[in-house]
Structure 1
């Protein structure tokens, strides 16, 4: 069982390496950026790669995506501070095997490695709570919207302009703008440029 670790913070990198080795695993490579991580994965085919998400060159998600596209056998574990549902969804889409939070790595890393080693996937127990809360908030927000407003959100996520939406739904552009204001209000979004488009793209 060979493991690669990539993190751009030297202390975190060394700390993670020490933990992994103390669990009886062999660390074959360490590096501090995503490009080096991807090259080493292609070169040495480690069984598992533990990647930070925020790294120079390529981030951990980029590396996971490229590993998936190249159908490489290396199983990816993301070690991160990100608790956002959108980031986790993207990681899941790229076939990652483990997703654990840095602040709880000492508690969860060994369990995660043991699970991934036998082909199981592992999601941080501390993250699950946040994701469930995030999901229920999203469900509640969508429930507050009318059918017309949901349709408009759907079209916004397809990057349609107010003029295009008005034409598609046989409404006036002013009515669509009114709906947009109501949706922003109901979702509690900041009143800034493209706020609804950003939200729609993140939650579509």
Structure 2
């Protein structure tokens, strides 16, 4: 019997995806609202398909993808997220995802991505790379952001949203000191002088 796992912390999104999966003939559909639930549920239910959001509590989606890949779990992962594809799609591809669908698209794209993934194919958006479509500033900022590790990128977004070091430490299960170290490293790597500049950089690149 076909089995799927939906990972998203928004019940309305999970509900919409569940309806789509039922139309695809799925009888066993499980739901998770946080990253730390995913691996235990995959081991228990053995879903052939995982629909994964990236911006989830406890373990973010990139961490979950890395753990699925490291565990050599035999399931297809379709990323369904509001995160900017320009900065996240390639990371997800490298981490083993079969497809990447932005939540700004209608569910027809998710439908196509699921069919591609289960058929052994991939489904990714063609991203703008030409000099015509990106300004010099955008290209140089994208290059800096692309060099960040997955964890640095996550902390960058949290900081840009104005979340305190202490709160980030709790969200990501890190020490306050570790988050402070990451913050210092980010200001150096991204060539910014303050949290205000971090936020401006994130906004310009549609990361918040």
Residue-by-residue CA offset, 1:5-58 (whole Å, 9 max, x unaligned): 011011111111011112223343111111112211122221110011111111
CA distance in 2, matches of 1:115, 1:60: 21
CA distance in 2, matches of 1:71, 1:28: 21
- Kept in 2, the 8 Å contact 1:52–1:78? The answer is yes
CA distance in 1, matches of 2:25, 2:122: 20
User: Larger radius of gyration, structure 1 or 2?
Assistant: 1
- Kept in 1, the 8 Å contact 2:99–2:122? The answer is yes
TM-superposed deviation, 1:63: 0.8
TM-superposed deviation, 1:89: 1.9
TM-superposed deviation, 1:86: 2.4
CA distance in 2, matches of 1:69, 1:111: 27
1:26–1:9 Cα change, 3 Å: same
CA distance in 2, matches of 1:100, 1:71: 23
Say whether 1:116 aligns with 2:117: yes
Question: Aligned pair count?
Answer: 153
> What secondary structure is seen at the aligned counterpart in 2 of 1:71?
coil
Aligned to 1:90: 91
1:141–1:118 Cα change, 3 Å: same
Aligned to 2:136: 141
CA distance in 1, matches of 2:192, 2:3: 50
1:116–1:92 Cα change, 3 Å: same
CA distance in 2, matches of 1:11, 1:50: 14
Aligned to 2:50: 49
CA distance in 2, matches of 1:42, 1:138: 44
Cα RMSD between the aligned structures? 3.4
- Kept in 2, the 8 Å contact 1:5–1:27? The answer is no
> What secondary structure is seen at the aligned counterpart in 2 of 1:103?
coil
Q: TM-score if structure 2 supplies the norm length?
A: 0.62
Q: As a proportion of its length, which structure holds more helix?
A: 1
* Equivalent residue for 1:132, pick from 116, 128, 133: 128
Runs of 4 or more consecutive aligned structure 1 residues displaced over 6 Å after TM superposition = 137-140
Q: Which runs of 5+ in 2 are unaligned?
A: 149-189, 203-208
Where do 1:1-204 residues align within 5 Å? 1-124=2-125, 128=126, 131-133=127-129, 136=131, 141=136, 192-193=193-194
> What secondary structure is seen at the aligned counterpart in 1 of 2:52?
strand
> What secondary structure is seen at the aligned counterpart in 2 of 1:82?
coil
CA distance in 1, matches of 2:106, 2:134: 30
- Kept in 1, the 8 Å contact 2:93–2:99? The answer is no
